[in-house]
Structure 1
Amino acid sequence: MPPQRFREQFRQIQRSMPGVPLAMGPDDAGEFLYEKGVVLAREGEEAQIVEDTVRGHFRTLAAGAPDRVRRLGPAGNRSGVVRIQVSDPGEGDAGGDPAVAGALRALAAVEGRAGRRMITRNHVVHIAVNACPGDEPVPVARDARPNPAVAETDGEPGEDAARVLVVDTGLMHDYRSYPPLARTDGDAQVAECDDDGILQQYCGHGTFIAGLVAAVAPHTDITVSGALNDAGAVLEHEFGEKLFDAVEAGGWPDVLSVSAGTSNGRTDGLLGVDAFMRELRERRTLLVACAGNNGSATPFWPAAYADLPGYEDAVLSVGALRADGESGACFSNHGGWVKAYAPGERLTSALTGFETPVPYVYQHSTYDACRYGFDYACTCHHPRHMGMLSEDGASAKPDQVMFEGLAQWSGTSFATPVAAGMVVSHMAACGERDPRAARRRLLEAVDEFVDVRGAHKPALLPPTWRPVRVPAPTARP
C-alpha cells in the first residue's frame, strides 16, 4: 500500500476513534493499524501467563515498567479475549509501538512450547475501502443503470428465500427509494452528513453493497447490520463481539457478507475473531469475505480463513476483477488464499440522494499513474480529482460532486456481495438449501477463469454484468 494514501487514511481513522491511540505496523511499514500500548490474549489461564511473562520481561528492562501491565475492561465476552495494557499509550508517536513489539517477543518462546499463539496486537479491522481504498465513489448520470443490472425474475420471493446478512455500515435514510432495496431491512447509517450537509466518507458503503446483492439475486432476504458504522473501523477485540451480535439478532443467515478485515503479518488468523470463526465452522452459514485492497499477497482476515484447514467450505474469499474483466484489479489482494474473483472495479449501485441530491468532497487525490504499476486506466488515476487529505491539498481546492441516487465505486468490498449474490442465485436456481454446497457447486461449474499475477482463478461473472472499457486518461496538466 503506498505510504501517502495509508497515512491519509490513518489520520481519518484516528479521528473516527477518539481516545484510542493508534500505531502503524509493523514498525511504520503501513501494513496494518493497531491500538497502542495494548495486546490481546485469551481470557483465563492464558491471559495470566501473558501478564506474568510480559511483566517479567519489562522488569529486566526498566524500573516502573512492570507496574503498567494490567488488564483492561471486563472479561466474559463471547470473543473470549481480554485486553492487556503493556505500556502508556500516550508515549511515542504513531510509527510503531516498541512496548507492544517487546511484549510479542517476550511470549515467543512460551508460544513455541505451547504450540499455539497466546498474544497479539489489537488490530483495527476496517471496511475494505478504508485503510486501503480502491477509490472513492464517482457520480453517474441520472439515467444510468446499475451494473450488474437487476436480474429479471418471476413473481415475488417466497418464504424460503435465502437470507443474506451484510455486516457493514448501515443503510442510508432514503434507501427504499431504490426499488431493488424496497424489501431490505436493517440498521440505519449513523451521521450521514457533517454539519455543513456534506456526505461523510464511506457513508453509503453498506447501502451500495446491499444494492449489489439485490441486483444479482433479487429473490433474496437481505438484512444490513450497521456494526461498522464508526467510519467502518473497529478494534479487533470488538469485531468478534459485533459479528456475534449481528448473526444472533436475526438468527444465523445462509450467507454472511463481510467487506472488512485486516492483515496482521501472520498466517493463522485473528485472535479476536477466533471464537466466532470456530462457531461459524459448526454452522451452515457461508462467510463471503473480501480479499482487501492492498495490492498484496499478505493474508487479509477473515477472508484468508478460506485457506485454513477446516474452513474450506465455510469461507469464500473474493478478489476484485478490473472493469473489463480481463484480470485482477490493480488494488486487489491476491495469492493462493483468494479463492475466486468477481467484478469489483467501476460497479454501479445505490448510494444516496434519491430524495435530495447530496454533496460530497473528495478526501484523496488521484495519482498521475497507477500506484501499483499497472498500465490500464485504473481508478488510481481516472477519473481525476483533488482531495482535501492529500499532501497537495493545502495548495489546491478539493473537488466537490453531487450524488443523486446511484454511484460508481470500486473495491474488493463490492466484488464480495456480487459473489454472495451469485451463491444465493445458484441456490434459488437449483433448489439448493445448503449455502456451502451451493458455493462448492458454483465454483465447480465455473467456465470463466482469469490469470491474476500468474495464478489461474475462477471468475464469478453475473449474467447481467457489463464490462466497462475506459480509454487511457490524459495526463494531468
Structure 2
Amino acid sequence: MAPQRFHEQFDHIQRSMPGVRLALGPDEDAHYLYEKGVVLARDGEEARIVEDTVRAHFTETRGLLPEHVRRTGPETNRTGVTRIRVGDPAEGDDPVPHALRALRAAEDRGGRRLVSRNHVVHIAVNACPGDEPVPVPRSEPANPGAADGVHDPETAVRVLVIDTGLVHDHRSYPLLAHTTGDPQLTETDGDGVLHQYVGHGTFIAGVLAAVAPNTDISVLGTLNDAGAVLESEFGHKLFEAVDRDGWPDVISLSAGTPTEGTDGLIGLDAFMRELRERHTLLVAAAGNNGSATPFWPAAYASLPEYAGSVLSVGALRADGEAEACFSNHGPWVRAYAPGERLTSALTGFDTPVPYLYQHSTYDTCRYGHGYACTCQFPRHTGVLSEGRESTGGKPDQVMFEGLAQWSGTSFATPVVAGLVAALMSAYGQRDPRTAGARLLADTTDRVEVRGAHVPALRPSTWRPVASPAPALPA
C-alpha cells in the first residue's frame, strides 16, 4: 500500500510527544511506531536478564558505555513492565533492533519472549482512521439510525469507550443525552479550527447509542493526544479506566498497533490477564492498514485463552457487500460490521466549527481495491501531504455543524459493541461474553473476505450507502 499517509501521521504523532523520540518499524508493510532507544521487559528476573544481556552485548560489540543501558521505569508496578533504555536515542543509529537481536539466544534458552519494542498504540490506524470526516446536514439521520428502545438506568448495559474525550456540547445531540466521560482537552487551535481526531470518541459514542439505546456509555480521553499513547503507558491507563468506575460490561476500543511478533503486547500482559478473569467483553478494532498482519489488542481474539473475552471487528464497505478497502483482515478478525461512510455526531449543535483536511485523497485506492472508496472520494487536499506546496495546492476547509460521515474499523467496533449490548437488553442477558458468543452464533449473514466466509453483523437500522460517482474531468 502507499505509505504516504503513514509517514504524514508519524510526523504528526512525533510532534505530540516532544519528549519522546519515535522510530518507524523496519517492515514497511507492518506500519508500527515505537520509542527509539527503549525496550520493554517484565518486572523482576526477566528485566534483570534483559538488562545484563544488552549491557554485555553493547559494551563488547558496539563500544557503548554501560550506563547507556539502564532502567528508566519503575521495577514494580501494576502493569508488571520495566522500561529499559538500551542506548542514546539522540544518536542516528537506533540501538533497539541490535538489542533485540542480542536477546534472541536468551529467549531461545528460556522458551519465552523476554523483551519487545515500546510500541505506539494509536487510533486504528495507519496511525489514523480510514479517512477524515465529511460534513453531513443536520437534516440527515444517523446511520446506523436510532434503534427502538429507551434508556433505563436500572437495566442499562455499562459500556466503556476508551478513545478521545467528548466534545463540550455533545449532549446537544439527543442520542448522547445520557453519555458521560472525559472532555476533549483541546478542541480547536488558536484560529478556532478543529484539531485532528477531535470528535472521534464522540462519533463512536453516537454510533453505540444509536445501535443500543439502553446503555450507560462512559467515554474516557485516554487517547486525547493525537490519538496515540506509548505501550508502556497504555496498560496503566487501562487499569486507571476500570479502577475509576469498576469493570464495565463491554469495553469498546478503537486503537491498537501491529508488532514485529505474533504474541501480543508485553505492556498489556497484566491487563489482559485480569480481563480474562472478569466478566467484561473487550470489543476491539482490527485496524485500517488493509493488511493481514495481526493488530493488537484485537488479535488477542485468535489466542485460545482470550477467545471468549475479546471480539475483534473488521469493517464492511459502504454497500455492505464486502470488506472495506482499508480494513485489516485474516483469521484473527472474528466479525465484520459496517464501517465505511457511517453518520454520527462529530460535534454537538452549539456553533459551526471549521476543519482543515490533514491528508490528501488519492487518484486510486491506496490498497488496490476497485470500488469508489473513501481513499478517493470526496476529494481533499490536506495540510500534511507531501508536495502540496510545490503544486500550489491549498488545504481544503469545511464547516461542521454537528453530524459527520466517517470511515474506519474505529466505527465498525461500536456497531458490534452496540449489538452485544442490545442483545443483552433484549434477552435480559447479564453476561456480555455469552451475549457476544450468541451474537456470532445466531448470525447467518456472511461476506467473503479474501476467500473466507465470515460473519457480517449489520444492525437493522443501518442503511447501505451508494458509492459516489467519480467527478467528471474539467
The one-letter code of the counterpart of 2:114 is M
2:5–2:126 CA contact under 8 A, matched in 1? no
The match for 1:340 is 335
Measure, in 1, the Cα distance between the counterparts of 2:464 and 2:66.
59
- CA 1:465/1:28 → structure 2, altered by over 3 Å: closer, same or farther? closer
Alignment match, 1:254: 249
Q: Is the Cα–Cα contact under 8 Å of residues 144 and 343 in structure 2 kept in the other structure?
A: yes
Output aligned runs, 1:381-460, within 5 Å: 381-394=376-389, 395-460=392-457
1:23 match: 23
Q: Does 1:300 align with 2:295?
A: yes
CA displacement, residues 75-96 of structure 1 (integer Å, 9 cap, x when unaligned): 322111111111111111xxxx
Q: Secondary structure at the match of 1:295?
A: coil
Q: Does 1:57 align with 2:57?
A: yes
What is the alpha-carbon distance in structure 2 between the residues aligned to residue 124 and residue 476 of structure 1? 41
Q: Provide TM-score, normalisation by structure 1.
A: 0.97
Choose 296-305 or 345-354, whichever is displaced more. 345-354
Secondary structure, aligned partner of 1:440:
helix
Q: Does 1:119 align with 2:95?
A: no
Amino acid at match of 2:250: V
Alpha-carbon shift at residue 265 of structure 1 (Å)? 2.1
Partner of 2:101: 105
Match among 127, 134, 139 for residue 130 of structure 2 = 134
How far is the alpha carbon of 1:428 from its aligned partner?
0.6
- Kept after mapping to 2: 8 A contact 1:354/1:405: yes
Native 8 Å contact 1:342 1:416 kept in 2 = yes
Structure 1: distance between partners of 2:195 and 2:155? 37
Q: Deviations over 1:282-328 (max 9, x none)?
A: 00000000000000000000000000021111000000000000000
Which residue in 2 is equivalent to 1:149?
145
Look up the SS of the partner of 1:417 in the other structure: helix
The answer on whether the counterparts of 2:164 and 2:227 sit within 8 Å (CA) in structure 1 is yes
Residue in 2 aligned with 1:280? Answer: 275
CA offset at residue 26 of structure 1? Answer: 1.9
Give the fraction of aligned pairs with identical amino acids, expressed as a percent: 70
Q: Supply the distance in 1 between the matched residues of 2:64 and 2:351 (Cα, whole angstroms).
A: 58
3-state SS, counterpart of residue 320 of structure 1: strand
Structure 2 regions of 5+ residues with no counterpart? none
Q: Structure 1: which 5+ runs fail to align?
A: none
| 1:263 match | 258
* Deviation sequence 1:217-271 (CA, Å, 0-9, x none): 0010110111111111000010111111111110000000000000002111000
2:365 is matched with 370
Tell me the CA shift for residue 430 of structure 1. Answer: 1.1
In the alignment, the residues of structure 2 paired with residue 268 and residue 193 of structure 1 have an alpha-carbon distance, to the nearest angstrom, of 39
Letter in 2 for 1:444: A
Secondary structure of 1:261's aligned partner: strand
State the alpha-carbon separation in 1 of the partners of residues 472 and 74 from structure 2.
56
Other structure's SS at 2:34 match: strand
1:366–1:386: 8 Å Cα contact kept in structure 2?
A: yes
1:35 maps to 35
Aligned match of 2:470: 473
Q: Partner amino acid for 1:193?
A: T
CA contact (8 A) 2:357 2:396 kept: yes
Distance change in 2, residues 1:193/1:129 (3 Å): farther
CA separation in 1, counterparts of 2:336 and 2:123? 18
Displacement of 1:476 in angstroms is 6.4
Contact 2:258-2:293 within 8 A present in 1 as well: yes
Cα distance in 2, alignment partners of residues 338 and 197 from structure 1: 39
Contact preservation (8 Å) 1:376, 1:472: no
Other structure's SS at 1:293 match: coil
Once the two structures are superposed, residues 307-356 of structure 1 have per-residue CA deviations (whole angstroms, 9 ceiling, x without a partner) of 00211110000000000000000000000000000000000001115100
- State how far apart, in whole Å, the 1-side matches of 2:38 and 2:168 are: 37
The secondary structure found in structure 2 opposite 1:310 is helix
* 1:321-336 pair list within 5 angstroms: 321-336=316-331
| Residue deviations 1:387-426 (CA, integer Å, cap 9, x gap) | 0110132121000000000100000000000000000100
Runs of 4+ displaced beyond 6 Å: none
TM-score, normalised to structure 2's length?
Answer: 0.97
Residue 133 (structure 1) shift: 3.1
Q: CA contact under 8 A between 1:170 and 1:224: conserved in structure 2? A: yes
Q: CA RMSD in A?
A: 1.3
Quote the residue 2:344 is aligned against: 349
**What SS does structure 1 have at the residue aligned with 2:95?**
helix
Is contact 2:41–2:82 with CA below 8 Å preserved after alignment?
yes
Letter matched to residue 449 of structure 2: V
Letter in 2 for 1:276: F
